[in-house]
Amino acid sequence: MTKWILLACAACASATAQEVGANFNHDPEIIDISLLKRVPVDWIRTTPYIFEYIQGEKRPDSGEGLGNVIRAHQAGYKIAFGFRWDFRKFGLRIPQPGSAEEKEYFGVARQILERVGPSIEIFKLGNEPTLETMDADMQPDTSGAVPLVRFTQRLLTEVVEPCYRAHPGWKRPAIYVGSLPALFEPRMQKLPAVAGLIELAQSNPAIEGLSIHLHIETEQDMRESFEFVRHRMPAKPIIVPEFSLHRLYVKHLKDPLGADQAGREFAARFHRDPEMRLHQWYSLANQHKVSTEEWSAMFASRNWFPPHFMLTYYRYFERYGVRLATYGFVSQYAPPVVPPNGSAWFINPIFPAKSLPPNADGSLTPNPLWMDDFVAIVNKGRAKGK
């Protein structure tokens, strides 16, 4: 069985390019075409918070972020788009089919698509639904249907498909289910919603493939995620809109700078207390900004940090038939005080503007940890695409 799956993956990979683009997460307002031009990406990914539009904080017909999506497409970039449905954040159950709530939600989604529809090459039917949905809606209801799976399918049949049928001059985007996170976790693997969403991607001919996220601690996490998907969806394409070593960073937040000889040498070189914890050093970087020299040296002094992880990711993308992956492009938030049990997303971006000082000309400083490797895999994907 495994051999057959690997053969299917190889066939899928050979038929598609593993392209790499820029991820702007849920804030299309920060899409900056002048910054994008500094890296040879062709793809942009964004998934706006749709409840900001449902609740009236932003307008579908005039919102700046949606305008940025359109302008980026006009500038030649390809767009991977979708919505983030924060049901859990607002304590909301997924609406019943045909209910007033569903009609309201889908009405706003239609308005947004009416504006950005011609600019989209990929449409994703969700962001991280297994994190953004109430637990009860990821289990079968009294009818036997899983509300999240049903809602996802109806988003396609009641919003996306009718919109593009009404505009035959628009090119219909490739549709992906997801994005499913943490598929290496047993609790995720056992969710009826996960099984149902992968089955929807696999069995529905109107759906191109599956979208997954790979925020991991180890290479084994990535391997298990791909194997879990490929045993259930052997050949359809996968896209990876988000990937990082975030779980690895978080694991080490409480480590002292001087954890070993290399760490003590780093602390002495930059006049830091060797007993300072990593979360405290990150706080210092986010409050005052540290030099690229110190930023690079700190990570180089960690025996757990893999310096070329982007290249490892790309090898897996090639092996498992990933069509597109996008990586965090510019800082969105960097807490001035990073708690010992906090998060560390600010480490990821290609332009970590909240943690590194600008260049002498005022332009944003690229992340020295992986700028070169990012450009390398972007160019590799572009060459395959041609």
Write down the pTM of the prediction: 0.94
| Total number of domains in the chain | 1
User: Would 111 be classed as within a structural domain?
Assistant: yes
Q: Are 323 and 212 spatial neighbours (Cβ–Cβ below 8 Å)?
A: no
User: Would 355 be classed as within a structural domain?
Assistant: no
293 burial level (CB within 10 Å; 0-12, 13-18, 19+): exposed
State the CATH number of the domain containing residue 159. Answer: 3.20.20.80
| Mean pLDDT of the region 44-70 | 97
Residue 364, pLDDT > 70, answer yes
59 burial level (CB within 10 Å; 0-12, 13-18, 19+): middle
Angle among Cα 201, 140, 184 to the nearest 5 degrees reads 55
User: Would 337 be classed as within a structural domain?
Assistant: no
Look up the domain containing 84 and give its range.
2-251+307-329
What pLDDT, on the 0 to 100 scale, is given for residue 385? Answer: 74
Question: According to DSSP H, which parts of the chain are helical?
Answer: 2-15, 33-36, 50-54, 64-74, 100-116, 129-132, 147-155, 161-165, 186-189, 192-203, 219-230, 246-251, 261-269, 278-288, 292-300, 309-319, 371-385
Tens-place pLDDT, residues 215-227? 999 999 999 999 9
Residue 14, pLDDT > 50, answer no
| Mean pLDDT of the region 186-215 | 98
User: Would 150 be classed as within a structural domain?
Assistant: yes
Mean pLDDT, all residues of the chain: 95
User: Would 264 be classed as within a structural domain?
Assistant: no
CA-to-CA distance for 152 and 333, rounded, in angstroms?
A: 29
User: Would 277 be classed as within a structural domain?
Assistant: no
What pLDDT, on the 0 to 100 scale, is given for residue 376? Answer: 97
Quickly state the pLDDT bin for 13 (edges 50, 70, 90): very low
User: Would 379 be classed as within a structural domain?
Assistant: no
User: Would 334 be classed as within a structural domain?
Assistant: no
Q: In this structure, what is the dihedral angle of CA atoms 145, 186, 302, 306, given to the nearest 10 degrees?
A: -70
What pLDDT, on the 0 to 100 scale, is given for residue 17? Answer: 79
What pLDDT, on the 0 to 100 scale, is given for residue 384? Answer: 83
CA-to-CA distance for 18 and 320, rounded, in angstroms?
A: 10
